[in-house]
Amino acid sequence: MRKYFMDNLRWLIILILFPYHTLIIYSGIGSYYFHVTNNIFANAFLLTFAPWFMQLLFVIAGIATFYSLKKRTSTQYLKERVSKLLIPMVAGMILVIPISVYFGLLYSGYTGSFLNLWWNIFTNPSHLGDGLALGPLWFLLYLFIVSLLALPVILKYGKRNFPIQKYTIPKLLLLVFPLAIGSYFLNLYPDKSVIEFFLLFVFGYFLLSDDVVQEKLEKWRWPLFISFAVLTAIYVAITAGSFGSEGNTATTTAATVSLSTIIAGFLIKMYTSLILWLGVLGIMGMGKYYLEFKNKRTLYLSAVSFPIYIFHIVWINMFAYYLIGWIPNQMAIQVVLIMLLSFVFTIATIEVIRRTPVIRTLFGMKG
């Protein structure tokens, strides 16, 4: 039986990217390619979602893999990963991301041609490391890598020969410790750990895909969600005003490293990991209770969620570039228009590409 609440959670998270990647332009946290101002409300919005929303997608992917491997062989699964993740990622890097970069750099004063910029992106190796060439498509790359790493583990232990019914909510909460520790390793992209995402994926496959566990999350949805909301509110209240200030720095020199800073850093990591894991458990519980339904709109958004992910950033950056110039000093109006117009044009782009056989295959879409 298909779990429609998982599909609904996936497309809802993808839609969050429209306000997220719009407001990141106005934040002090950092942005994809250009920055307008440092607005505390933009910071607060980003900090509310940053610790958990992309991480939840890896959990959902792990759960989806559990159901996928029931009707596919491992070879078929790998072929699907290539067609749905790897090929669209490469196509997006070549055909989509450079346009996003171009509008961002235009805002920052770039005067060269688009073709010169495109060539520079792919001939300068540093852009692979600094994220310029990949942009938000890091998600597709990470999910592909994690799927490959997880498959041998799944094939060996996938029968789940352990008493899963004994995994109570307190025991599930203890998994925050390996998540926090794992987040320090294999950060191929800034602050994005392959190990952390791998753990989330396998936790989804082995634990959260189980009906009994899902029923427990549904039963305890409110305590989990309220705990998540309270910890998130505290985190946002403490940190939202610090980004972009002169006293805030992301680097620590070797001379200032001490045992106390290491311990403090780990405690902060534990706190954000707890927000992450409570968010995953609480939102899954809420989703199972409130989002187990389907209609034409939800089925459509579920089908195009990954294409939305690939194309949205182009339209956000393009409309941001023009609207910031056309309507200066009107952040609220700019944000609303950027989100609405980018959503409409993203869907229009998907509909055009769905009707173009060769191109739709590059982006993992069906007709």
* pLDDT tens-digit series, residues 64-91: 999 999 889 999 999 999 999 999 999 9
Domain membership flag for residue 115:
yes
| Residue 192, SS3 per DSSP | strand
Sign of CA dihedral 227, 230, 233, 237: negative
Condensed to tens digits (0 to 9), the pLDDT of residues 171-203 reads 999 999 999 999 999 888 777 899 999 999 999
Query: What's the average model confidence in pLDDT over 103-117?
Result: 89
Condensed to tens digits (0 to 9), the pLDDT of residues 256-287 reads 567 788 888 889 999 999 999 999 999 999 99
Domain membership flag for residue 81:
yes
Domain extent, residue 8, equals 4-242+260-362
Q: How many angstroms separate the CA atoms of 127 and 11, rounded?
A: 30
Domain membership flag for residue 253:
no
Domain membership flag for residue 248:
no
Domain membership flag for residue 222:
yes
Contact (Cβ atoms closer than 8 angstroms) between residue 279 and residue 212: no
pTM: 0.93
Q: How many angstroms separate the CA atoms of 97 and 313, rounded?
A: 8
Query: What's the average model confidence in pLDDT over 125-146?
Result: 83
Domain membership flag for residue 158:
yes
Structurally, the chain folds into a number of domains equal to 1
Condensed to tens digits (0 to 9), the pLDDT of residues 228-250 reads 999 999 999 999 877 754 434 44
Domain membership flag for residue 346:
yes
CA atoms within 13 A on the CB side of 199: 21
Phi, psi of 348 (to 5 degrees): -60, -40
Q: How many angstroms separate the CA atoms of 43 and 131, rounded?
A: 21
Reported as a pLDDT band with limits 50, 70 and 90, residue 166 is: confident
Domain membership flag for residue 254:
no
What's the chain's average pLDDT?
Answer: 90
Query: What's the average model confidence in pLDDT over 101-119?
Result: 90
**What pLDDT score does 259 carry?**
77
